[in-house]
């Protein structure tokens, strides 16, 4: 049966390298400045900002609410929202901009459909219900499992078991990250995709890992509460080295869809 649900185009520019991203910024500087001025105009003395727009995943009119309590203040006392983690919609799940973008991208660019076998990797998150409702079958795996040797980690799943793997704000806390990427490649069926959100250092070429946390050395813990990787552009190389055919960073922005903020980045790799 064909899935005929409609979805909005995901409003993003895609980059396969830092060089490509830097050239985009140079060419689009005037537009980027205009976006910044628009966001600055929304600063407020109030405890919240409300805007009318459209929810990208469900295509309904919505009111985005941004709570500004505790956020940075300008010299005149106006609060400056952290837009990437703001603008909660008034739909059932009340997702913030980053989480709506995750679901929206999965629908628009990663073939999240009623037949999709979906793997959610990492601790439970607010977008899980929405993602699961759009998939055919959903499995959650919260963490990697130790393998037979110190250099091995495993996902408790068979080869080519899933069409889509989604992880939100977790992979930067997984010390054996390269091994995790290889495992995602193993459990994805041909044509499958990996989508993930992490804090992304868009000015940094290389990913920095904390001292004393070699990628696969010894019996290191499989996760930490605090970040152990500062993700940079070479993450795209790591994905290709893990066996993904295509890897890109997607920078998204839309006033109508409630995706404000400078250089919101979502990472995607496909087979």
pLDDT confidence band for 40 (50 / 70 / 90): confident
- What does the pLDDT look like over 88-115, one tens digit per residue? 999 999 999 999 999 999 999 988 999 9
Task: Say if 54 falls within a structural domain.
Answer: yes
Check pLDDT > 80 for residue 2: no
Task: Say if 95 falls within a structural domain.
Answer: yes
| Beta pairing class for 208-209 and 145-146 | unpaired
CB half-sphere exposure, 1, CA atoms < 13 A: 8
* CATH code for the domain in which residue 171 is found: 3.40.50.150
Check pLDDT > 50 for residue 4: no
Confidence at residue 190, expressed as pLDDT on a 0 to 100 scale: 96
**How many domains is the chain built from?**
1
Confidence at residue 118, expressed as pLDDT on a 0 to 100 scale: 98
Task: Say if 2 falls within a structural domain.
Answer: no
What span, in angstroms and rounded, lies between the C-alpha atoms of 135 and 143? Answer: 21
- What does the pLDDT look like over 172-221, one tens digit per residue? 999 889 999 999 999 999 999 999 999 999 999 999 988 644 444 445 56
Residues 6+ apart with CB under 8 A from 209: 175, 177, 215, 228, 229, 230
- What does the pLDDT look like over 245-256, one tens digit per residue? 999 999 999 999
Supply the range of the domain harboring residue 237.
7-271
Task: Say if 1 falls within a structural domain.
Answer: no
- What does the pLDDT look like over 119-156, one tens digit per residue? 999 999 999 999 999 999 999 999 998 877 656 889 99
């Amino acid at each position: 049966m064909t899935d005929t649900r409609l979805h909005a185009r995901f409003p993003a520019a895609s980059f396969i390298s830092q060089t490509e991203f830097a050239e985009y910024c140079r060419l689009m500087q005037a537009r980027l400045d205009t976006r910044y001025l628009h966001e600055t105009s929304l600063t407020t003395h109030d405890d919240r900002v409300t805007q009318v727009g459209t929810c990208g995943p469900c295509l309904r009119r919505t009111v985005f609410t941004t709570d500004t309590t505790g956020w940075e203040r300008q010299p005149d006392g106006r609060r400056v929202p952290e837009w990437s983690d703001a603008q909660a919609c008034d739909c059932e799940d009340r997702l913030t901009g980053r989480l709506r973008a995750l679901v929206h991208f999965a629908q628009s660019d990663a073939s999240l459909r009623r037949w999709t076998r979906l793997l959610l990797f990492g601790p439970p998150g607010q977008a899980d219900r929405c993602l699961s409702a759009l998939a055919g079958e959903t499995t959650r795996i919260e963490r990697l499992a130790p393998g037979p040797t110190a250099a091995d980690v495993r996902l408790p799943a068979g080869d080519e078991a899933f069409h889509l793997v989604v992880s939100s704000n977790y992979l930067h806390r997984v010390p054996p990250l390269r091994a995790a990427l290889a495992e995602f490649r193993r459990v994805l069926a041909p044509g499958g995709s990996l989508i993930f959100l992490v804090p992304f250092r868009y000015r940094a070429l290389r990913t920095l890992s904390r001292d004393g946390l070699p990628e696969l050395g010894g019996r290191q813990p499989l996760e930490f509460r605090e970040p152990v990787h500062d993700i940079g552009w070479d993450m795209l190389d790591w994905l290709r080295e893990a066996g993904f055919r295509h890897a890109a960073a997607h920078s998204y922005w839309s006033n109508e869809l409630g995706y404000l903020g400078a250089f919101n980045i979502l990472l995607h790799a496909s087979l």
